């Protein structure tokens, strides 16, 4: 059999629906003695099927409600008091996730996705910087507990968020790369994330920006072979964000992630 190159698979998050009551009750029985709720359940389920994923990731956009509750000084998403964080709930979630997968990353909605607004600071840029700084503090708390890094699921490229947060342990994931300002993103981040069907955009972007990794979403083997014609295989990753039927989704992505040597 011809030798093949395995392309690492990276998860960017998952969407986990609401379970039926019997399913949740059965899961909770296995968590006796541990504080757990519906969000804990969804985090646990978000890792299903990621056993062979090189960079497993818990969470996703569904985690926004829990995350919002960690910000102090807020009333209904509006900053009205002294900004701060209470990391207790997200810290407990970090412990739960790392107990299952020691190498797991954590996927969060990017700050602008939470829809916070200001009625206290009085300056838009200062408000955005404040929220981004609080995000960075929460992320450090989680990494101190063993979380390997964070994915920030973003709807737009926000220069302030990128300036404060982008780094090797904080990766922005453009939810819709076809409408996202990838040029601005690549000024701060060395990972180029594209749908496999948009691979034709990669050579130009890689020529104009310093790209460390080319990550193709929902790639077939043919897409990875095509990318290897102009990018070193060591630069390639196959990525995904699961919307439904996640255990099968991740297993299929792993099965497709190899090319002939």
Handedness of CA 34, 40, 45, 50 (dihedral sign): negative
How far apart are the two ends of the chain, measured CA to CA in Å? 11
What does R_g of the chain's alpha carbons equal in angstroms?
19
Contacts of 215 (CB under 8 A, 6+ apart): 10, 191, 192, 193, 194, 236, 237, 238, 239
Strands (E), 25-103: 57-59, 71-75, 78-85
Q: What's the pLDDT at 33?
A: 66
Strands 213-217 and 258-260: unpaired
For residue 244, what pLDDT is reported?
A: 86
- In this predicted structure, what is the pLDDT of residue 97? 96
pTM for the whole thing? 0.94
- Given a cut of 70, the residues of the chain with pLDDT beneath it are 1-2, 32-33
**Structure confidence at residue 2 (pLDDT):** 65
Distance CA 207, CA 101 (A): 36
């Amino acid at each position: 059999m011809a030798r093949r190159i395995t392309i690492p698979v990276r998860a960017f998050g998952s969407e986990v629906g609401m379970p039926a009551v019997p399913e949740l009750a059965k899961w909770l029985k296995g968590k006796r003695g541990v504080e757990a709720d519906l969000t804990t359940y969804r985090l646990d389920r978000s890792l299903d099927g990621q056993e062979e994923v090189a960079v497993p990731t818990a969470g996703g956009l569904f985690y926004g409600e829990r995350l919002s509750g960690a910000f102090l000084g807020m009333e209904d998403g509006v900053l009205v008091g002294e900004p701060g964080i209470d990391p207790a709930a997200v810290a407990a979630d970090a412990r739960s996730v790392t107990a299952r997968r020691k190498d797991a990353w954590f996927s969060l909605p990017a700050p602008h996705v939470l829809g916070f607004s200001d009625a206290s600071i009085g300056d838009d840029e200062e408000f955005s910087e404040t929220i981004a700084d609080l995000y960075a503090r929460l992320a450090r708390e989680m990494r101190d507990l063993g979380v390997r890094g964070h994915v920030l699921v973003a709807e737009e490229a926000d220069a302030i968020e990128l300036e404060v947060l982008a780094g090797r342990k904080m990766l922005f994931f453009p939810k819709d790369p076809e409408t996202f300002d990838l040029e601005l993103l690549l000024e701060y981040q060395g990972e180029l994330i594209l749908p496999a069907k948009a691979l034709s955009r990669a050579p130009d972007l890689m020529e104009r920006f310093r790209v460390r990794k080319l990550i193709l979403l929902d790639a077939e083997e043919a897409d990875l072979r095509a990318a290897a014609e102009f990018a070193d295989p060591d630069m390639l990753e196959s990525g995904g964000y699961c919307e439904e039927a996640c255990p099968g989704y991740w297993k299929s992505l792993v099965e497709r992630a190899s090319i002939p040597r």
